[in-house]
Structure 1
């Protein structure tokens, strides 16, 4: 068995060729076997998660982080279902995305191929162990998983079940390698294996992602935080806008697609804000607002510059009243994180202006920010979200774990005319 990190990574790289050679039917069967194995081990996974939860509570972990860490029967069933959904996705490998014939007769194709070895670095979400493995394997890649110490028991239990399915399918278990050493030095070593790791994807808090970006020598897909805004336009339906606000802020406040700032057009402020603030307060949300907001509702704390730039990941929201759509856009450009922005409006011109002006990875018109998720957007599940404008932008599914290469087909065409003047085999 490989012992050092480099040995484990090399074994994973060697196993990548086995994954890349699988056809679509074989990959689907493998993922379905992984889902079945995980479902069979549900009790073991729950027992392991209970150990992680107990340790996290003893360490004073916040309620939002505990929610990310917690597994129950329903959530495990959801993880199993997500693996099965990935198995039904279109296979991105081998897809020809473009084909054209050049004037000289050569045919130029662009064809999707696997990236190779993906290093997934994440914190307190044990579901990522299964989600990342399923997506990477469906895209023909091997994967190295490095979860946080807070979810280590859970991650090991999940990975053990998945690796058992790999072995039963005749695939090297190293294609799914879990690093169980939580030290940061080990993470740094992994991030510098430029001859083995083709891409690193960090998923967690801003501190983790910045650490990865600062220490990596391999390419990194990242987003630092999700400062998501809802802008309530002057022509918004107030009932619809309130629905988006409540869902975006309170359904799961500890996730990156939760709302953190509410912007309201001045023409809507006096009628919309008092009712919205009252509703949020009943749901336990702390309100921090500008002067106009504080004049419209009692006991609203003043919002600071830091509040408007904050990813609270909690039942806290910053509120500001703006004079125009352009002012709302300017606020988002200043404080946003290129993650997800929402406009509530009945004016199609305002909606189109908002969509064109906002450069974030996901822009919503009259829909909750909570739909900014790979599963909800048709990717089956997601391995993360990219706010880095490289080969992937936004929620990343299986296709984002492939790249296009050029395949050129010809009939002896050469570029330099002199190459055509070659003596035949007789030497004449």
Structure 2
């Protein structure tokens, strides 16, 4: 029964699997700094080659602070050139592609090199296979750690002083950032330089499929998340409820974990790995031109291995168990009707952490369903950028007052 239901769900959720090509070099911005040197990474390695791109204020003006951009799932930092330009008026802005994404993906990296050498369009349909190493987000956290260290190094060299360092992170990038901070903040010199984070549509909840597709998919998504949440982890529930939750979890988690793992095996995964369905783009932005770019952008990975998807679900579960300990100041923006990262994840995080720092703040976009806040139409896009800029300025002012 589980297998039949899972196959039906995959059929409903998956878009058409079509060949994917890139015909123009990767969109670069700023100056590129290679990040070399890998620490021990265990079974899951970080990216062998990592590029940090940096954009500084013009005319040699010293920055008031430094800012690291962290992109979302299956996208890439090259899309954020306009965002980098906006913040580079006052900040040194850095960005990178984390593991299996953008130029940290071997298939996309090779395609970029061939295009730069004058080759015709390149087939990048198998770029998603770089996700084979991802059964959790540890490789992404390792890349983030390397990017933070390099950002701090370049930031300190700007005018020979230690400027505040901020992170602006979107969606999965926000989950990577906060889970990294929970592990490293207070125990790592580079991580301790982070003065605040901006979280945009953070991936703190599993997706909820909209429309008729959700009638089939959402019960299984909710069952899987409920089972993972309770699996060998009792909550403060009455004994009969506790026993029921543990029974459901013990029956469900091994079956679903095993099914998603088998469907990610060589041979099977080429047929079983779903492509992003068409409805996703409609919930990313309200901009018709941006939707057209998203649909034609070959640098965006269109498929996600089920092992990777299940690993993200487990990361969300683990994060939620400890999120009340998150102590970095933050500014969080979320859309109330966003099905990609539903609002309940952000609301639970806010309820658990808002009191942890006086500078914590959030903005709930009550009438909006769109996920990529930095790619919306005007005037909302500019207003959100201004709001972020104002929060960063308040944080810098607070830090200066603390030093006096």
Tell me the TM-score normalized by structure 2.
0.31
Identify the structure with the greater helix proportion: 2
Larger Rg: 1
- Would you tell me which structure has more strand in proportion to its own residues? 1
